[in-house]
A and B are shown apart, each in its own frame.
Chain A
Amino acid sequence: MSKLTDLNLAQARDGLASKAFSATELTQAHIERVEASDKLNAYVLKTPEKAMDMAKASDAKLADGTAGPLEGLPIGVKDLFCTQGIRTTASSKILGEFIPPYESTVTQNLWNDGAVLLGKLNNDEFAMGSSNETSCFGPVNNPYQGANGENLVPGGSSGGSSAAVAARLGVAATATDTGGSIRQPAAFTGTVGLKPTYGRCSRWGVVAFASSLDQAGPITQTVRDAAIMLGSMASFDSRDTTSVERDVPNYEAALTGDIKGLRVGIPKEYRVDTMPSEIEALWQQGIDWLRDAGAEIVDVSLPHTKYALPAYYIIAPAEASSNLARYDGVRYGARQAGVDIDDMYANTRAAGFGDEVKRRVMVGTYALSAGYYDAYYVKALQVRRLIAQDFNQAYEKCDVLLTPTTPSAAFAVGKEVEDPLEMYLNDVFTVTVNLAGLPGLSVPAGLDGNGLPLGLQLIGRAFGEEQLLRVGEVLETAAGFTTRPKEWWSA
Protein backbone atom coordinates (compact mmCIF):
# COMPACT_ATOMS: atom_id res chain seq x y z
CA MET A 1 0.00 0.00 0.00
CA SER A 2 1.16 3.51 -0.73
CA LYS A 3 1.66 6.04 2.03
CA LEU A 4 -1.54 7.23 3.69
CA THR A 5 -0.66 10.79 2.72
CA ASP A 6 -0.60 9.81 -0.98
CA LEU A 7 -4.33 9.13 -0.95
CA ASN A 8 -6.83 11.56 -2.32
CA LEU A 9 -10.04 12.29 -0.41
CA ALA A 10 -12.18 9.65 -2.12
CA GLN A 11 -9.48 6.99 -1.70
CA ALA A 12 -9.02 7.85 1.97
CA ARG A 13 -12.78 7.74 2.50
CA ASP A 14 -13.02 4.33 0.85
CA GLY A 15 -10.02 3.04 2.83
CA LEU A 16 -11.64 4.10 6.09
CA ALA A 17 -14.92 2.48 5.07
CA SER A 18 -13.18 -0.81 4.26
CA LYS A 19 -11.18 -0.59 7.51
CA ALA A 20 -7.86 -0.72 5.63
CA PHE A 21 -6.65 1.86 8.18
CA SER A 22 -8.16 3.94 10.97
CA ALA A 23 -8.96 7.65 11.14
CA THR A 24 -6.32 8.07 13.84
CA GLU A 25 -3.68 6.43 11.59
CA LEU A 26 -4.69 8.61 8.66
CA THR A 27 -4.69 11.76 10.79
CA GLN A 28 -1.39 10.90 12.50
CA ALA A 29 0.27 10.45 9.09
CA HIS A 30 -0.96 13.87 7.99
CA ILE A 31 0.04 15.56 11.26
CA GLU A 32 3.61 14.26 10.82
CA ARG A 33 3.70 15.51 7.26
CA VAL A 34 2.36 18.91 8.28
CA GLU A 35 5.01 19.11 11.02
CA ALA A 36 7.75 18.67 8.40
CA SER A 37 6.34 21.32 6.04
CA ASP A 38 7.37 24.59 7.70
CA LYS A 39 9.43 25.67 4.68
CA LEU A 40 6.18 25.96 2.73
CA ASN A 41 4.56 28.19 5.41
CA ALA A 42 1.15 26.82 4.40
CA TYR A 43 -0.21 26.41 7.94
CA VAL A 44 -0.39 29.47 10.20
CA LEU A 45 -1.80 27.42 13.07
CA LYS A 46 -1.52 23.66 13.57
CA THR A 47 -4.11 21.87 15.71
CA PRO A 48 -2.65 18.34 16.12
CA GLU A 49 -4.30 17.63 19.49
CA LYS A 50 -7.71 18.70 18.29
CA ALA A 51 -7.14 16.64 15.13
CA MET A 52 -6.37 13.50 17.14
CA ASP A 53 -9.43 14.03 19.37
CA MET A 54 -11.63 14.43 16.30
CA ALA A 55 -10.04 11.38 14.64
CA LYS A 56 -10.70 9.23 17.72
CA ALA A 57 -14.33 10.34 17.72
CA SER A 58 -14.47 9.46 14.00
CA ASP A 59 -13.08 5.99 14.64
CA ALA A 60 -15.87 5.41 17.16
CA LYS A 61 -18.46 6.49 14.60
CA LEU A 62 -16.89 4.40 11.86
CA ALA A 63 -17.02 1.41 14.21
CA ASP A 64 -20.67 1.82 15.22
CA GLY A 65 -21.99 2.62 11.75
CA THR A 66 -22.87 6.29 12.31
CA ALA A 67 -20.09 7.74 10.11
CA GLY A 68 -20.78 10.91 8.14
CA PRO A 69 -19.80 11.46 4.48
CA LEU A 70 -16.41 12.94 5.48
CA GLU A 71 -15.85 10.86 8.59
CA GLY A 72 -12.23 10.81 9.69
CA LEU A 73 -10.87 12.83 6.74
CA PRO A 74 -8.19 15.34 7.80
CA ILE A 75 -8.44 18.74 6.11
CA GLY A 76 -6.96 22.23 6.35
CA VAL A 77 -9.11 25.34 6.73
CA LYS A 78 -8.28 28.73 5.25
CA ASP A 79 -7.76 31.20 8.10
CA LEU A 80 -10.68 33.25 6.81
CA PHE A 81 -13.24 30.81 8.29
CA CYS A 82 -14.07 31.44 11.94
CA THR A 83 -13.41 28.35 14.03
CA GLN A 84 -14.81 28.32 17.54
CA GLY A 85 -12.12 28.50 20.22
CA ILE A 86 -9.34 28.41 17.57
CA ARG A 87 -7.46 31.56 16.58
CA THR A 88 -8.68 33.10 13.34
CA THR A 89 -6.75 36.00 11.81
CA ALA A 90 -7.54 36.41 8.08
CA SER A 91 -3.71 36.66 8.04
CA SER A 92 -4.00 40.25 9.26
CA LYS A 93 -2.21 41.81 12.21
CA ILE A 94 -5.34 43.78 13.02
CA LEU A 95 -7.19 40.70 14.25
CA GLY A 96 -4.39 39.97 16.69
CA GLU A 97 -5.12 36.78 18.62
CA PHE A 98 -8.85 36.81 17.82
CA ILE A 99 -10.55 33.65 19.07
CA PRO A 100 -14.03 33.33 17.58
CA PRO A 101 -16.78 32.40 20.04
CA TYR A 102 -18.68 30.83 17.12
CA GLU A 103 -18.11 28.51 14.16
CA SER A 104 -18.67 29.40 10.49
CA THR A 105 -21.57 27.55 8.86
CA VAL A 106 -19.31 25.97 6.22
CA THR A 107 -16.84 24.53 8.74
CA GLN A 108 -19.69 23.44 11.06
CA ASN A 109 -21.15 21.53 8.09
CA LEU A 110 -17.78 19.84 7.57
CA TRP A 111 -17.44 18.84 11.24
CA ASN A 112 -21.05 17.60 11.28
CA ASP A 113 -20.10 15.34 8.38
CA GLY A 114 -17.07 13.98 10.25
CA ALA A 115 -14.10 15.94 8.86
CA VAL A 116 -10.98 16.41 11.02
CA LEU A 117 -9.26 19.80 11.44
CA LEU A 118 -5.47 19.74 10.89
CA GLY A 119 -5.06 23.51 11.26
CA LYS A 120 -5.58 26.94 9.75
CA LEU A 121 -4.11 27.84 6.37
CA ASN A 122 -2.25 30.94 5.26
CA ASN A 123 -3.84 33.40 2.81
CA ASP A 124 -3.40 36.93 1.51
CA GLU A 125 -4.43 39.46 4.17
CA PHE A 126 -8.26 39.60 4.16
CA ALA A 127 -8.04 37.56 0.92
CA MET A 128 -6.67 40.60 -0.93
CA GLY A 129 -3.96 39.40 -3.27
CA SER A 130 -3.07 36.87 -5.95
CA SER A 131 0.21 35.50 -4.60
CA ASN A 132 -0.24 34.99 -0.84
CA GLU A 133 2.47 37.61 -0.29
CA THR A 134 0.27 40.12 1.57
CA SER A 135 -0.16 37.78 4.56
CA CYS A 136 1.10 39.04 7.93
CA PHE A 137 2.59 35.55 8.36
CA GLY A 138 4.75 35.97 5.26
CA PRO A 139 4.51 34.33 1.83
CA VAL A 140 3.63 30.70 1.19
CA ASN A 141 6.02 28.83 -1.08
CA ASN A 142 4.61 26.81 -3.94
CA PRO A 143 5.57 23.11 -3.62
CA TYR A 144 6.60 23.47 -7.27
CA GLN A 145 9.88 25.36 -7.65
CA GLY A 146 11.26 27.24 -10.63
CA ALA A 147 13.75 25.80 -13.12
CA ASN A 148 16.68 27.08 -11.03
CA GLY A 149 15.24 26.04 -7.68
CA GLU A 150 13.79 29.49 -6.95
CA ASN A 151 10.72 29.78 -4.75
CA LEU A 152 7.46 30.46 -6.55
CA VAL A 153 4.16 31.79 -5.25
CA PRO A 154 1.28 29.31 -4.81
CA GLY A 155 -1.25 31.87 -6.08
CA GLY A 156 -3.70 33.69 -3.90
CA SER A 157 -5.53 34.51 -1.97
CA SER A 158 -6.01 30.83 -0.98
CA GLY A 159 -2.27 30.09 -1.31
CA GLY A 160 -2.01 28.11 1.91
CA SER A 161 -4.90 25.93 0.76
CA SER A 162 -3.47 25.26 -2.69
CA ALA A 163 0.06 24.59 -1.38
CA ALA A 164 -1.28 22.28 1.33
CA VAL A 165 -3.28 20.17 -1.12
CA ALA A 166 -0.45 20.02 -3.67
CA ALA A 167 2.02 18.98 -0.93
CA ARG A 168 -0.47 16.48 0.55
CA LEU A 169 -0.75 18.30 3.88
CA GLY A 170 -4.39 17.25 4.19
CA VAL A 171 -6.74 15.37 1.88
CA ALA A 172 -8.48 18.64 0.95
CA ALA A 173 -8.77 22.27 2.03
CA THR A 174 -11.42 24.95 2.27
CA ALA A 175 -10.85 28.19 0.40
CA THR A 176 -12.71 31.32 -0.67
CA ASP A 177 -12.93 33.10 -4.03
CA THR A 178 -13.77 36.78 -4.53
CA GLY A 179 -12.04 37.39 -7.90
CA GLY A 180 -10.23 34.10 -8.55
CA SER A 181 -8.81 33.20 -5.14
CA ILE A 182 -9.72 29.49 -5.40
CA ARG A 183 -9.16 28.88 -9.11
CA GLN A 184 -5.90 30.80 -9.68
CA PRO A 185 -4.03 29.12 -6.78
CA ALA A 186 -5.38 25.75 -7.90
CA ALA A 187 -4.01 26.39 -11.40
CA PHE A 188 -0.60 27.38 -9.97
CA THR A 189 -0.27 24.18 -7.92
CA GLY A 190 -1.71 21.42 -10.12
CA THR A 191 -4.82 21.08 -7.95
CA VAL A 192 -8.58 21.32 -8.52
CA GLY A 193 -10.37 24.49 -7.38
CA LEU A 194 -14.14 24.96 -7.36
CA LYS A 195 -15.85 28.31 -6.83
CA PRO A 196 -19.54 27.51 -6.41
CA THR A 197 -22.45 29.70 -7.50
CA TYR A 198 -22.92 32.78 -5.32
CA GLY A 199 -25.36 31.79 -2.57
CA ARG A 200 -24.52 28.06 -2.64
CA CYS A 201 -22.27 28.07 0.47
CA SER A 202 -23.11 30.26 3.44
CA ARG A 203 -20.92 33.28 4.06
CA TRP A 204 -21.85 33.28 7.75
CA GLY A 205 -18.72 33.25 9.90
CA VAL A 206 -16.39 33.79 6.94
CA VAL A 207 -14.34 36.99 7.32
CA ALA A 208 -15.90 39.34 4.75
CA PHE A 209 -13.91 40.96 1.94
CA ALA A 210 -16.45 41.91 -0.77
CA SER A 211 -19.80 40.46 0.23
CA SER A 212 -21.50 40.44 -3.18
CA LEU A 213 -18.55 38.49 -4.65
CA ASP A 214 -17.21 36.26 -1.83
CA GLN A 215 -17.96 32.55 -2.08
CA ALA A 216 -16.48 29.56 -0.24
CA GLY A 217 -15.40 26.40 -2.03
CA PRO A 218 -12.89 23.55 -1.91
CA ILE A 219 -9.37 22.99 -3.24
CA THR A 220 -8.76 19.27 -3.78
CA GLN A 221 -6.62 16.75 -5.64
CA THR A 222 -9.40 15.59 -7.96
CA VAL A 223 -12.73 16.68 -9.38
CA ARG A 224 -14.44 13.84 -7.52
CA ASP A 225 -12.98 15.15 -4.26
CA ALA A 226 -14.30 18.63 -5.07
CA ALA A 227 -17.77 17.14 -5.64
CA ILE A 228 -17.64 15.38 -2.27
CA MET A 229 -16.40 18.47 -0.42
CA LEU A 230 -19.02 20.74 -2.01
CA GLY A 231 -21.75 18.31 -0.97
CA SER A 232 -20.80 18.96 2.65
CA MET A 233 -19.88 22.65 2.44
CA ALA A 234 -23.08 23.74 0.65
CA SER A 235 -26.28 24.39 2.57
CA PHE A 236 -29.12 26.83 2.97
CA ASP A 237 -28.45 29.10 5.91
CA SER A 238 -30.99 31.58 7.26
CA ARG A 239 -28.13 33.53 8.88
CA ASP A 240 -26.85 34.59 5.42
CA THR A 241 -29.44 36.74 3.64
CA THR A 242 -27.95 35.83 0.25
CA SER A 243 -27.96 32.09 0.94
CA VAL A 244 -30.21 30.39 -1.60
CA GLU A 245 -32.91 28.02 -0.38
CA ARG A 246 -32.27 25.08 -2.63
CA ASP A 247 -31.59 21.40 -2.04
CA VAL A 248 -27.97 20.24 -2.17
CA PRO A 249 -27.74 17.57 -4.87
CA ASN A 250 -25.50 14.51 -4.76
CA TYR A 251 -22.64 16.03 -6.75
CA GLU A 252 -20.60 12.84 -6.81
CA ALA A 253 -23.48 11.01 -8.50
CA ALA A 254 -23.34 13.60 -11.29
CA LEU A 255 -19.89 12.31 -12.40
CA THR A 256 -21.16 10.01 -15.11
CA GLY A 257 -18.38 10.67 -17.60
CA ASP A 258 -20.99 11.28 -20.30
CA ILE A 259 -20.88 14.68 -22.02
CA LYS A 260 -22.18 13.62 -25.43
CA GLY A 261 -24.02 16.46 -27.11
CA LEU A 262 -22.98 19.00 -24.47
CA ARG A 263 -22.30 22.42 -26.01
CA VAL A 264 -19.01 23.94 -24.89
CA GLY A 265 -18.64 27.66 -25.56
CA ILE A 266 -15.27 29.23 -26.38
CA PRO A 267 -15.33 32.97 -25.65
CA LYS A 268 -13.24 34.80 -28.23
CA GLU A 269 -12.50 37.73 -25.89
CA TYR A 270 -10.34 35.47 -23.70
CA ARG A 271 -7.76 35.22 -26.50
CA VAL A 272 -5.65 38.10 -25.18
CA ASP A 273 -2.57 39.36 -27.02
CA THR A 274 -0.24 38.75 -24.12
CA MET A 275 -1.21 35.09 -23.70
CA PRO A 276 1.85 32.80 -23.78
CA SER A 277 1.73 30.33 -26.68
CA GLU A 278 1.80 27.33 -24.35
CA ILE A 279 -1.42 28.49 -22.66
CA GLU A 280 -3.00 29.08 -26.06
CA ALA A 281 -1.92 25.55 -27.05
CA LEU A 282 -3.27 24.03 -23.82
CA TRP A 283 -6.60 25.74 -24.39
CA GLN A 284 -6.78 24.25 -27.89
CA GLN A 285 -5.86 20.87 -26.44
CA GLY A 286 -8.74 21.22 -23.96
CA ILE A 287 -11.11 22.01 -26.81
CA ASP A 288 -9.94 18.88 -28.65
CA TRP A 289 -10.30 16.70 -25.54
CA LEU A 290 -13.90 17.77 -24.98
CA ARG A 291 -14.75 17.40 -28.69
CA ASP A 292 -13.27 13.90 -28.68
CA ALA A 293 -15.46 13.09 -25.67
CA GLY A 294 -18.55 13.96 -27.71
CA ALA A 295 -19.09 17.63 -26.90
CA GLU A 296 -20.01 20.19 -29.51
CA ILE A 297 -17.71 23.23 -29.63
CA VAL A 298 -19.41 26.61 -30.10
CA ASP A 299 -17.80 30.02 -30.57
CA VAL A 300 -19.36 32.62 -28.29
CA SER A 301 -18.76 36.24 -27.41
CA LEU A 302 -18.60 37.94 -24.01
CA PRO A 303 -18.15 41.49 -25.30
CA HIS A 304 -17.68 43.28 -21.96
CA THR A 305 -14.89 40.99 -20.69
CA LYS A 306 -12.32 43.77 -21.01
CA TYR A 307 -14.20 45.86 -18.46
CA ALA A 308 -14.46 43.15 -15.80
CA LEU A 309 -11.19 43.95 -14.00
CA PRO A 310 -11.80 47.71 -13.89
CA ALA A 311 -15.35 47.13 -12.59
CA TYR A 312 -14.02 44.65 -10.04
CA TYR A 313 -11.40 47.11 -8.80
CA ILE A 314 -14.16 49.57 -7.94
CA ILE A 315 -16.76 47.14 -6.57
CA ALA A 316 -14.46 44.94 -4.46
CA PRO A 317 -12.58 47.83 -2.78
CA ALA A 318 -15.86 49.71 -2.21
CA GLU A 319 -17.38 46.73 -0.42
CA ALA A 320 -14.09 46.10 1.40
CA SER A 321 -13.89 49.67 2.67
CA SER A 322 -17.33 49.19 4.17
CA ASN A 323 -16.74 45.66 5.54
CA LEU A 324 -13.36 46.54 7.05
CA ALA A 325 -14.77 49.54 8.91
CA ARG A 326 -15.46 47.11 11.76
CA TYR A 327 -11.73 46.80 12.54
CA ASP A 328 -11.55 49.79 14.83
CA GLY A 329 -9.82 48.39 17.90
CA VAL A 330 -13.01 48.43 19.99
CA ARG A 331 -14.55 44.96 19.98
CA TYR A 332 -11.65 42.70 19.04
CA GLY A 333 -8.16 42.72 17.64
CA ALA A 334 -5.04 44.67 18.39
CA ARG A 335 -5.73 48.24 19.60
CA GLN A 336 -3.19 51.05 19.38
CA ALA A 337 -3.50 53.89 21.87
CA GLY A 338 -4.39 57.44 20.76
CA VAL A 339 -5.01 60.85 22.28
CA ASP A 340 -8.75 60.51 21.58
CA ILE A 341 -11.04 57.93 19.98
CA ASP A 342 -10.47 59.10 16.37
CA ASP A 343 -6.74 58.97 16.91
CA MET A 344 -7.10 55.48 18.40
CA TYR A 345 -9.01 54.32 15.29
CA ALA A 346 -6.44 55.84 12.92
CA ASN A 347 -3.46 54.42 14.82
CA THR A 348 -5.07 50.98 15.16
CA ARG A 349 -5.81 50.77 11.44
CA ALA A 350 -2.44 52.22 10.41
CA ALA A 351 -0.60 49.60 12.44
CA GLY A 352 -2.98 46.70 11.79
CA PHE A 353 -3.57 46.82 8.03
CA GLY A 354 -0.90 45.92 5.49
CA ASP A 355 -0.14 48.03 2.41
CA GLU A 356 -2.44 46.23 -0.04
CA VAL A 357 -5.38 46.36 2.37
CA LYS A 358 -4.79 50.08 2.98
CA ARG A 359 -4.66 50.70 -0.78
CA ARG A 360 -7.95 48.91 -1.37
CA VAL A 361 -9.74 50.53 1.56
CA MET A 362 -8.57 53.91 0.28
CA VAL A 363 -9.67 53.21 -3.32
CA GLY A 364 -13.04 52.02 -2.04
CA THR A 365 -13.45 55.03 0.21
CA TYR A 366 -12.63 57.30 -2.73
CA ALA A 367 -15.10 55.55 -5.05
CA LEU A 368 -17.88 55.86 -2.47
CA SER A 369 -17.11 59.44 -1.44
CA ALA A 370 -19.36 62.41 -2.20
CA GLY A 371 -19.01 63.52 -5.82
CA TYR A 372 -17.51 60.23 -7.06
CA TYR A 373 -20.18 57.71 -6.09
CA ASP A 374 -22.08 57.93 -9.38
CA ALA A 375 -19.02 58.28 -11.59
CA TYR A 376 -17.25 55.24 -10.17
CA TYR A 377 -19.40 53.01 -7.99
CA VAL A 378 -22.75 53.19 -9.80
CA LYS A 379 -20.97 53.04 -13.17
CA ALA A 380 -19.15 49.86 -12.10
CA LEU A 381 -22.44 48.29 -10.98
CA GLN A 382 -23.98 49.08 -14.38
CA VAL A 383 -21.04 47.50 -16.17
CA ARG A 384 -21.40 44.51 -13.84
CA ARG A 385 -24.93 44.00 -15.16
CA LEU A 386 -23.67 44.10 -18.76
CA ILE A 387 -21.06 41.46 -17.88
CA ALA A 388 -23.72 39.23 -16.31
CA GLN A 389 -25.93 39.70 -19.39
CA ASP A 390 -23.03 38.63 -21.64
CA PHE A 391 -23.07 35.25 -19.88
CA ASN A 392 -26.86 34.92 -20.15
CA GLN A 393 -26.61 35.52 -23.90
CA ALA A 394 -23.73 33.05 -24.28
CA TYR A 395 -25.72 30.38 -22.42
CA GLU A 396 -28.42 30.59 -25.06
CA LYS A 397 -25.88 28.94 -27.39
CA CYS A 398 -23.90 26.70 -25.03
CA ASP A 399 -24.01 24.85 -21.69
CA VAL A 400 -20.55 25.53 -20.26
CA LEU A 401 -17.60 27.71 -21.18
CA LEU A 402 -13.97 26.62 -21.45
CA THR A 403 -11.12 29.11 -20.88
CA PRO A 404 -7.61 29.13 -19.45
CA THR A 405 -7.62 29.75 -15.68
CA THR A 406 -4.67 32.16 -15.63
CA PRO A 407 -2.59 34.12 -18.15
CA SER A 408 0.65 32.57 -16.81
CA ALA A 409 2.08 29.81 -14.64
CA ALA A 410 3.26 30.51 -11.07
CA PHE A 411 5.78 33.36 -10.82
CA ALA A 412 8.68 33.98 -8.46
CA VAL A 413 8.13 35.18 -4.90
CA GLY A 414 8.72 38.96 -4.85
CA LYS A 415 8.32 39.42 -8.59
CA GLU A 416 5.01 41.25 -8.76
CA VAL A 417 4.62 42.50 -5.24
CA GLU A 418 5.85 45.98 -6.18
CA ASP A 419 3.24 46.60 -8.85
CA PRO A 420 -0.40 46.32 -7.75
CA LEU A 421 -1.77 46.61 -11.29
CA GLU A 422 0.46 43.86 -12.62
CA MET A 423 -0.78 41.63 -9.78
CA TYR A 424 -4.42 42.41 -10.57
CA LEU A 425 -4.04 41.06 -14.12
CA ASN A 426 -3.71 37.54 -12.69
CA ASP A 427 -7.48 37.50 -12.26
CA VAL A 428 -8.32 38.53 -15.84
CA PHE A 429 -9.95 35.16 -16.70
CA THR A 430 -11.54 34.45 -13.33
CA VAL A 431 -13.02 37.74 -12.15
CA THR A 432 -15.90 37.82 -14.66
CA VAL A 433 -17.30 34.70 -12.99
CA ASN A 434 -17.53 36.38 -9.58
CA LEU A 435 -19.14 39.48 -11.05
CA ALA A 436 -21.85 37.31 -12.62
CA GLY A 437 -22.15 35.06 -9.54
CA LEU A 438 -21.55 31.89 -11.58
CA PRO A 439 -19.72 28.66 -10.66
CA GLY A 440 -16.18 28.11 -11.99
CA LEU A 441 -13.88 25.11 -11.83
CA SER A 442 -10.13 24.98 -12.45
CA VAL A 443 -8.72 21.61 -13.51
CA PRO A 444 -4.98 20.87 -13.81
CA ALA A 445 -4.45 20.23 -17.50
CA GLY A 446 -0.77 20.37 -18.35
CA LEU A 447 2.71 21.76 -17.72
CA ASP A 448 4.55 24.72 -19.15
CA GLY A 449 8.10 24.56 -20.55
CA ASN A 450 9.55 24.77 -17.02
CA GLY A 451 7.45 21.90 -15.72
CA LEU A 452 4.99 24.14 -13.89
CA PRO A 453 1.27 23.29 -13.72
CA LEU A 454 -1.30 25.09 -15.87
CA GLY A 455 -5.05 24.97 -15.42
CA LEU A 456 -8.11 25.16 -17.60
CA GLN A 457 -11.28 26.79 -16.32
CA LEU A 458 -14.84 25.65 -16.88
CA ILE A 459 -17.65 28.12 -16.18
CA GLY A 460 -21.19 26.89 -15.61
CA ARG A 461 -24.68 28.25 -15.35
CA ALA A 462 -25.90 29.46 -11.97
CA PHE A 463 -26.40 26.35 -9.80
CA GLY A 464 -25.05 24.21 -12.63
CA GLU A 465 -22.39 22.58 -10.44
CA GLU A 466 -23.44 19.03 -11.35
CA GLN A 467 -22.90 19.61 -15.05
CA LEU A 468 -19.75 21.63 -14.35
CA LEU A 469 -18.22 18.83 -12.28
CA ARG A 470 -19.24 16.23 -14.88
CA VAL A 471 -17.38 18.09 -17.63
CA GLY A 472 -14.53 18.77 -15.24
CA GLU A 473 -14.03 15.08 -14.60
CA VAL A 474 -14.00 14.34 -18.34
CA LEU A 475 -11.39 17.06 -18.83
CA GLU A 476 -9.36 15.72 -15.89
CA THR A 477 -9.41 12.19 -17.26
CA ALA A 478 -8.34 13.34 -20.72
CA ALA A 479 -5.53 15.50 -19.32
CA GLY A 480 -4.29 12.70 -17.06
CA PHE A 481 -2.36 15.14 -14.87
CA THR A 482 -0.32 13.01 -12.44
CA THR A 483 2.70 15.26 -11.83
CA ARG A 484 3.77 15.74 -8.22
CA PRO A 485 6.24 18.37 -6.98
CA LYS A 486 9.71 17.30 -5.84
CA GLU A 487 9.72 17.24 -2.04
CA TRP A 488 12.42 19.84 -1.43
CA TRP A 489 10.68 21.23 1.65
CA SER A 490 11.02 18.13 3.83
CA ALA A 491 14.76 17.75 3.18
Chain B
Amino acid sequence: MSVDEKTVRRIATLARIGLSEAEVPALAKELNAIIGFVEQLSEVDTTGVQPFTSPVENKMRRREDVVSDGGYAQDVLANAPEKDDEYFAVPKVVD
Protein backbone atom coordinates (compact mmCIF):
# COMPACT_ATOMS: atom_id res chain seq x y z
CA MET B 1 0.00 0.00 0.00
CA SER B 2 1.47 3.35 -0.81
CA VAL B 3 0.77 6.78 0.60
CA ASP B 4 0.09 9.29 -2.16
CA GLU B 5 0.13 13.05 -1.78
CA LYS B 6 -3.65 13.19 -1.48
CA THR B 7 -3.49 10.77 1.45
CA VAL B 8 -0.76 12.86 3.11
CA ARG B 9 -3.03 15.91 2.97
CA ARG B 10 -5.94 13.90 4.37
CA ILE B 11 -3.86 12.51 7.28
CA ALA B 12 -2.51 15.98 8.03
CA THR B 13 -6.07 17.27 8.23
CA LEU B 14 -7.09 14.41 10.54
CA ALA B 15 -4.02 15.08 12.70
CA ARG B 16 -4.65 18.86 12.66
CA ILE B 17 -1.15 19.59 11.44
CA GLY B 18 -0.90 22.43 8.95
CA LEU B 19 1.24 21.54 5.92
CA SER B 20 2.48 23.75 3.12
CA GLU B 21 2.23 22.29 -0.39
CA ALA B 22 6.03 22.30 -0.52
CA GLU B 23 6.23 19.89 2.43
CA VAL B 24 3.89 17.27 0.97
CA PRO B 25 6.16 15.39 -1.50
CA ALA B 26 8.98 14.83 1.00
CA LEU B 27 6.55 13.72 3.69
CA ALA B 28 4.87 11.29 1.28
CA LYS B 29 8.28 9.74 0.58
CA GLU B 30 9.13 9.43 4.29
CA LEU B 31 5.76 7.98 5.23
CA ASN B 32 6.04 5.48 2.39
CA ALA B 33 9.41 4.35 3.66
CA ILE B 34 8.01 3.83 7.16
CA ILE B 35 4.80 2.15 5.99
CA GLY B 36 6.88 -0.03 3.65
CA PHE B 37 9.04 -1.07 6.62
CA VAL B 38 6.09 -2.04 8.79
CA GLU B 39 4.45 -3.98 5.92
CA GLN B 40 6.61 -6.98 6.87
CA LEU B 41 4.15 -7.65 9.69
CA SER B 42 1.87 -9.18 7.07
CA GLU B 43 4.30 -12.15 6.88
CA VAL B 44 3.29 -13.20 10.41
CA ASP B 45 0.42 -15.62 10.84
CA THR B 46 -1.72 -14.08 13.58
CA THR B 47 -4.80 -16.21 13.11
CA GLY B 48 -6.63 -16.45 16.43
CA VAL B 49 -4.09 -14.30 18.33
CA GLN B 50 -5.68 -11.88 20.79
CA PRO B 51 -4.41 -8.29 20.42
CA PHE B 52 -2.07 -7.27 23.27
CA THR B 53 -3.18 -3.93 24.65
CA SER B 54 -1.26 -3.60 27.92
CA PRO B 55 1.52 -5.47 29.73
CA VAL B 56 -0.47 -5.05 32.95
CA GLU B 57 -3.62 -7.09 33.46
CA ASN B 58 -5.05 -4.71 36.06
CA LYS B 59 -8.77 -4.55 36.47
CA MET B 60 -9.89 -0.95 36.50
CA ARG B 61 -9.65 0.07 40.14
CA ARG B 62 -12.69 1.63 41.72
CA ARG B 63 -12.64 4.35 44.29
CA GLU B 64 -15.16 5.88 46.62
CA ASP B 65 -17.67 8.05 44.78
CA VAL B 66 -16.65 11.24 46.56
CA VAL B 67 -15.19 14.58 45.51
CA SER B 68 -11.47 14.12 46.18
CA ASP B 69 -9.85 16.75 44.01
CA GLY B 70 -10.49 20.10 42.36
CA GLY B 71 -11.43 23.60 43.38
CA TYR B 72 -8.37 25.29 41.88
CA ALA B 73 -9.52 26.70 38.58
CA GLN B 74 -6.82 29.36 38.55
CA ASP B 75 -4.08 26.69 38.77
CA VAL B 76 -5.67 24.83 35.87
CA LEU B 77 -5.85 28.06 33.85
CA ALA B 78 -2.39 29.29 34.80
CA ASN B 79 -0.75 28.15 31.54
CA ALA B 80 -3.61 29.05 29.19
CA PRO B 81 -2.57 31.07 26.12
CA GLU B 82 -5.84 32.97 26.48
CA LYS B 83 -8.44 32.93 29.25
CA ASP B 84 -11.48 34.81 30.45
CA ASP B 85 -12.51 34.62 34.10
CA GLU B 86 -12.61 30.85 34.82
CA TYR B 87 -12.70 29.78 31.17
CA PHE B 88 -10.25 28.92 28.41
CA ALA B 89 -10.77 31.31 25.53
CA VAL B 90 -10.70 30.10 21.89
CA PRO B 91 -11.64 31.59 18.52
CA LYS B 92 -15.39 31.71 17.96
CA VAL B 93 -16.80 28.24 17.14
CA VAL B 94 -20.54 28.93 16.70
CA ASP B 95 -22.18 31.79 14.88
Contact = CB atoms under 8 A, between A and B. Distances in A.
Interface of A: 98-99, 101, 197-199, 212, 238, 241-242, 244, 304, 306-307, 309-311, 313-314, 321, 325, 328-335, 338-347, 349-350, 353, 358-359, 361-363, 365-366, 369, 375-376, 378-386, 388, 420-421, 424, 436-437, 462
Contacts of A382: 44, 46, 49-52
B38 A313 contact: yes
Nearest to B47: A382
Contact of A347 (B18, B60, B63, B72): B18
Nearest to B79: A332
Summarize A's interface: helix, strand, loop or mixed. helix
Contacts of A314: 38, 41
Contact of B27 (A199, A325, A342, A359): A359
Contact of A333 (B18, B41, B50, B81): B81
B40 A241 contact: no
A447 to B, nearest CB: 32
A151 B56 CA distance: 40
Contact of B92 (A242, A307, A332, A340): A340
Contacts of B43: 307
B9 to A, nearest CB: 11
Contact of B55 (A358, A361, A388, A421): A388
Contacts of B15: 321, 349, 361-362, 365
Contact of A365 (B14, B30, B44): B14
Interface of B: 1, 3, 7-8, 11-19, 27, 30-31, 33-35, 37-44, 46, 49-56, 58, 60-61, 63, 72, 75-76, 78-82, 88, 90-93
A207 to B, nearest CB: 14
Given A212-B53, A379-B46, A420 B30 contact: yes
Summarize B's interface: helix, strand, loop or mixed. loop
20 contacts: A242-B54, A307-B44, A314-B41, A328-B16, A342-B16, A346-B12, A346-B16, A346-B18, A347-B18, A350-B19, A363-B35, A365-B15, A379-B44, A381-B52, A382-B51, A382-B52, A383-B44, A383-B46, A384-B52, A421-B33
Nearest to A344: B91
Contact of B63 (A238, A244, A341, A343): A238
B90 to A, nearest CB: 5
Contacts of A361: 15, 17
A379 B42 CA distance: 8
A383 B41 contact: yes
A386 B44 CA distance: 10
Nearest to A376: B38
B41 A380 contact: yes
